[in-house]
Amino acid sequence: MSEIPSATKAATPEEILSAALKKVAAKDVVMACSFSVEDLVVIDYLRKLAPQISIFAIDTGRLHEETYAVAEALLQKYQLHIDWYLPQTLSLQQLERAKGLFSMRESLANRHECCHIRKVEPLNRALVGKAGWITGQRRAQSTTRNALQGIETDAAHGGILKINPLIDWSDEEVWSYARAQRLPVNRLHSQGYPSIGCAPCTRAIKAGEAPRAGRWWWENPEHKECGLHR
Ligand code: SF4
């Protein structure tokens, strides 16, 4: 991915969104929501700044019950519509019949296969015909994200814009905003889960561990992405 110069390191979410929406029409942009606290902050911004931007989520079939509770709370808070995308049934049947329900822990290749079926393929469908997508990614989240830019061209999805409004926010800024706006954050955050993905692939972290140490905890840090953010 390459940086688009108009988004500077110090840009605020408003500035990043404004710069992006000068390049692409809001109707052609979507927000990818995984119900992380960052995504809730971005959605709160979008409701104020660009409510016409639609929101989608991927139901991998392996999410925590607490994550579905966040989705329901969001619907109540904003009366918004979420476009859900699910994995292809045939692909899931083939995977589970051939390899069972926990093949992702047996090898990196198996984990990537599961992420591809449950996340990447539905994401690709969600982005068809779009000019840009918005995420809640931040540089401070992990070693795999420290080169992110506020606005990037996403070569993996045909060169559309990838917009990261919270690129330079710290943990403290995210949580301060979430508390101030009474956002319906996932209950698992208060149980040691700073980063939450699918249930079989997320554990609580221990004191001193990196925020994403509980994601695919059996893998090396440089592998800790699911293919959604390449
Ligand atoms: S995070 Fe785990 S369960 Fe979810 S899609 Fe990836 S490998 Fe499969």
How far, in Å, from the CA of 202 to the mean position of ligand 1? 9
- CA-closest residue to ligand 1 atom 1: 198
| CA-angle at 203, arms to 198 and 163, nearest 5° | 50
- Written as six digits, the tokens of 60 are 């991998």
Cβ 119 under 6 angstroms from ligand 1? yes
How far, in Å, from the CA of 193 to the mean position of ligand 1? 16
**115 is an active site residue:** no
* Structural contact between residues 3 and 154, judged by C-beta atoms closer than 8 angstroms: no
Tally the C-alpha atoms within 13 A of residue 160's C-alpha that lie toward its C-beta.
Answer: 21
Which architecture, in CATH terms, is 10-191? Answer: 3-Layer(aba) Sandwich (3.40)
Tell me the domain boundaries of the chain.
10-191
Whole-structure pTM value: 0.88
Q: In angstroms, rounded to a whole number, what is the distance separating the alpha carbons of residues 110 and 116? A: 10
Q: What is the pLDDT along the chain (230 residues), one digit of tens a residue?
A: 444 444 445 689 999 999 999 999 999 999 999 999 999 999 999 999 999 999 999 999 999 999 999 999 999 999 999 999 999 999 999 999 999 999 999 999 999 999 999 999 999 999 999 999 999 999 877 665 677 889 999 999 999 999 999 998 999 999 999 999 999 999 999 999 988 999 999 999 998 888 888 989 888 776 666 656 66
134 backbone dihedrals φ, ψ, rounded to 5°? -110, 140
How far, in Å, from the CA of 163 to the mean position of ligand 1? 24
Cβ 116 under 6 angstroms from ligand 1? no
